Amino acid sequence: MLQALHKTGLVFFPAFDWAIDPTHPEREERLLYTQDQVTEEGVFDISGIIEYKPELVTNQDIRRAHFCVPDEKTVTTESHLISAGGAKAIADAVLNKEVKSGFALVRPPGHHSMRISHGGRGFCHINIEAIMVEYIRSQFGVKKIAVIDTDCHHGDGTNDIFWHDPDILFISLHQDGRTMYPGSGFPDELGGPNAKGSNLNIPLPPGTSTEGYLYVIKNCVLPVLEEFNPDLIVNSAGQDNHYTDPLTNMNFSAQGYAKLTSLLKPDIAVLEGGYSIEGALPYVNLGIILAMAGLDYSGVIEPDYNPERLKQSVSITDKIKKTTDIINSYWNQRNKLRQKAGSVGELAVRHREIFYDTDNIFERQKEKVRICRDCGGCFEIDSTATPGHHILAVHIPINACKSCIEAGYKFFDQADKSKFNKVVLQDRTKETYEIK
């Protein structure tokens, strides 16, 4: 009789009746074969593996992580609320210590959704990990959290949401942005002035295999994690690094994903992308579940797996080693970089343009953040998007210092309401979301 070494929670929500559109990769069928494999393996019968039912996230949950424009209801469907609610249910199970760790196998994904969401980008409407992380911080008072994004696409949404937050270590490993959507996630994208180095972006060359991927984990991610010493580790477990994925060009394997999981030891894993739904997902998901539960996963091998064919070239290995060295040196200089970013009380300004490929929206942002050494700093974002929405979003971080709280309210009070459709204040210290 199989017995999990670590009690493991699973939320399985394949949303069998929801698709972006009938032929879109983010479709009903996506987790069908995964469900077949997991059911046939009898995973839910293993003693110590507990299946949880997803919840439905509320507007309050969404408003901790997002400014939805024009509002939450327009941006989301029920499926998004359940998907984020699946992550939330796992968070509850883990933080209430019912299980040691948990995996939310849910769809649709969320890691391309930024703090301001005008609609769908990269198949994502709301950021399910960010909503979960903010829920955990508010509900359980956890301070330091690491989010490791192993999806093949840069987790630019999560990166954006925690850009200014020194308490959240965000690391994204992804296929090089020069060859892959969304085209960002380069090593010098290190976070805002108050949080330099708490965002690490590790681009990997196309053709990276299991060997190269695990090299980065062992030589960069694990040492950084050890130093950051988080209270909780979250894994955005995208599965599109797989050698059979139709949208990417990597050579990762089910065994690699399982090893990655046993090295990273995430408290919570949340499914992100992965579109090789027959050849990869059934095996990768099974491997991750077994690894989390501390069970033998050595037999989880794709039927057509051929390590010889997937071997990476020497030049790829060299490139990966170089990138790892660069990232490590940025990490070691993080305090210096923050000092250099400006002096306390100054406002750092950033202009950005964001394209929403799924919903065909174009957004311009002007962001002002208060430079601060005591907290992540309050900020305001002036956002205009093509359908005509114009908002001013003010954010006060959860651990904000007194000066940043005051400055945040000043942003909000001084905003000229007539210039915007909406002026919104997200005060995380008081859990409020005020609209004027």
Partner 1 sequence: MIIGIDVGGTHTDAVLLRSNGIEKRIKVPTDPVDLFNTILSSFTRLLDNIDPKKIERIVISTTLTTNAIVQQNMDPVGMIVSAGPGIDPEAFRTSEHYYCVAGSINHRGREKAPVNTMEIEDIAKKLKKAGIEYVGVVGKFCVRNPSHEIFIKRIINKHFKKVFLGYRVSGNLNFPRRIATTHLNTAVFSLHKSFFEAVKNSLEGKGLTAPIQILKADGGTMTLESSMSFPGQTVLSGPAASIMGAIPYAPADQDAIVLDIGGTTTDIAFLVDKAPLLEPVGIKRGQYKSLIRSLRTESKGIGGDSVVRVIDKELIIGPDRHGPAMAFGGPDPTPTDALFVLGLMNDGDQKNAQKGIEKIARKLDVTDKEAADQIFKKCCTVILKKTFEMIDKLNSKPVYTVHEFLEGYKISPRKILILGRPAPYFAKKIEELYHIKTDVVPEFSVANAIGAALARTTCEVCLNADTEQGIVTAHEEDFAESISKTYSEDDLIETAYTLLKEKAINSGADPDDLDEVEVVELQKFNIVRNFSPRGKIFRTKTQLKPGLIKGFEKVLQ
Which residue numbers are catalytic? 112
Stretch that binds partner 1, among 131-139, 207-215, 292-300, 350-358 (CB under 8 A): 292-300
CB nearer partner 1, residue 223 or residue 246:
246
With CB under 8 A, what is the number of residues at the site for partner 1? 53
Report in angstroms the alpha-carbon separations of 84 from 97, 131, 369, 377: 20, 7, 28, 27
Let me know: does 50 contact 8? Beta carbons within 8 Å: yes
List binders of partner 1 among 246-275 (CB under 8 A): 246
Q: What is the sign, positive or negative, of the torsion defined by CA atoms of 404, 405, 406, 411?
A: positive
The three-state (H, E, C) secondary structure of 70-110, written as one string: CCHHHHCCHHHHHHHHHHHHHHHHHHCCCCCEEEEEECCCC
CB nearer partner 1, residue 304 or residue 308:
304
Nearest-angstrom CA–CA distance, 153 and 390: 28
Kindly tell me which residue out of 54, 166, 191, 256 binds partner 1, with binding defined by CB under 8 A. Answer: 54
Let me know: does 242 contact 253? Beta carbons within 8 Å: yes
- Per CB under 8 A, 37 contacts partner 1: yes
To the nearest whole angstrom, how small is the minimum distance from the Cβ of residue 3 to partner 1? 10
**How does strand 361-370 pair with strand 347-356?**
antiparallel
List binders of partner 1 among 63-92 (CB under 8 A): 77-79, 82
- Per CB under 8 A, 53 contacts partner 1: yes
Kindly tell me which residue out of 32, 214, 310, 348 binds partner 1, with binding defined by CB under 8 A. Answer: 32
- Per CB under 8 A, 96 contacts partner 1: no
To the nearest whole angstrom, how small is the minimum distance from the Cβ of residue 290 to partner 1? 7
Report in angstroms the alpha-carbon separations of 251 from 7, 55, 175, 256, 277: 31, 35, 11, 10, 16
Q: Which residue has the tokens 């968070």?
A: 91
To the nearest whole angstrom, how small is the minimum distance from the Cβ of residue 375 to partner 1? 38
Kindly tell me which residue out of 5, 36, 223, 227 binds partner 1, with binding defined by CB under 8 A. Answer: 36
CB nearer partner 1, residue 47 or residue 74:
47
Q: Which two tokens stand for residue 362?
A: 């174009």
To the nearest whole angstrom, how small is the minimum distance from the Cβ of residue 144 to partner 1? 31
List binders of partner 1 among 189-228 (CB under 8 A): none
Show the beta-strand stretches assigned E in 279-421.
Answer: 347-356, 361-370, 379-385, 390-396
- Per CB under 8 A, 243 contacts partner 1: no
Query: Residue 282, SS3?
Result: helix
- Per CB under 8 A, 180 contacts partner 1: no
CB nearer partner 1, residue 25 or residue 256:
25
- Per CB under 8 A, 28 contacts partner 1: yes
- Per CB under 8 A, 286 contacts partner 1: yes
CB nearer partner 1, residue 33 or residue 411:
33
To the nearest whole angstrom, how small is the minimum distance from the Cβ of residue 253 to partner 1? 12
Return the H-helix or E-strand segment holding 405.
helix 402-414
Report in angstroms the alpha-carbon separations of 146 from 181, 202, 261: 24, 15, 14
217 DSSP 8-state letter: I
- Per CB under 8 A, 48 contacts partner 1: no
CB nearer partner 1, residue 246 or residue 345:
246
Q: How many CA atoms lie within 13 A of 69 on its CB side?
A: 28
C-beta contacts of 37-42 below 8 A and 24+ residues apart? 37/282, 37/283, 37/285, 37/286, 38/12, 38/282, 38/285, 38/286, 38/289, 41/286
Q: Which two tokens stand for residue 310?
A: 């997937």
- Per CB under 8 A, 29 contacts partner 1: yes
CB nearer partner 1, residue 30 or residue 164:
30
Kindly tell me which residue out of 7, 13, 160, 213 binds partner 1, with binding defined by CB under 8 A. Answer: 13
Return the H-helix or E-strand segment holding 224.
helix 222-228
The site for partner 1 (CB under 8 A) is made up of 1-2, 11-19, 22-25, 27-29, 32-33, 35-37, 39-42, 45, 47, 51-54, 56, 77-79, 82, 246, 278, 282-283, 286, 290, 295-296, 298-304
